[in-house]
Amino acid sequence: MRTVDRIRVHAPFARVFAAASSVARWPAILPHYRWVRTLDDGLVEMAAWRPFVRGLVKYPTWWVSEMTIDRPAGEIRYRHVQGVTTGMDVVWTMVEDGEGSAGVDVEIVHTWKGPTWPLIGKLAAELVIGPVFIHGIASRTLAGIKKAAEGT
């Protein structure tokens, strides 16, 4: 399973990177995040809502990831180590517009072999978990980071 979400943020790189990497602040700036907790050894516990039916129904999601930040490379990486998505790799890449127009292209790529459920694990990942849950949360996260960084 591979999902890719992208957005262009019209703000300086430093502001965009700070909003994306300061995950403890996410529940304050991203309404679909229930909580983010920093654990020991570079682990972060995250929980979000995946809304359905125009936001009337919310499905809770939860996972724990190893998080690494590489500001010079413009990358934030996660490796899911607990939750349904254990084994998932996530890479955030932020690239500043070279034309000096205070713009940053942000991309999130999720890759995963799927859950270890017999017979249906791969199908569940490719047909439901990736396009419905992962994309649903990642697209909202990018929109919220954009809003926070642009100050709108």
For 114-129, how does the pLDDT look when each residue is reduced to its tens digit (9 = 90+)? 888 888 888 888 988 8
What is the reported pLDDT for 99? Answer: 67
Mean pLDDT calculated for residue range 31-40: 95
73 phi, psi to nearest 5 deg: -85, -10
Which CATH number belongs to the domain containing residue 72 in this structure? 3.30.530.20
| Overall domain count for the chain | 1
Q: Where does 19-140 show beta strands of DSSP type E?
A: 33-38, 43-52, 57-70, 75-82, 89-96, 104-111
Residue 149: pLDDT over 70: yes
Q: Predicted confidence band at 132 (pLDDT cuts at 50, 70, 90)?
A: confident
Rounded distance between C-alpha atoms, residue 91 and residue 82, angstroms:
17
| pLDDT tens readout for residues 99-117 | 666 799 999 999 999 888 8
C-alpha distances in angstroms, 117 versus 61, 84, 97, 121, 123? 18, 10, 42, 4, 10
For 141, the domain range is 2-150
Cross-strand pairs, 80: 65
Average pLDDT, the chain: 92
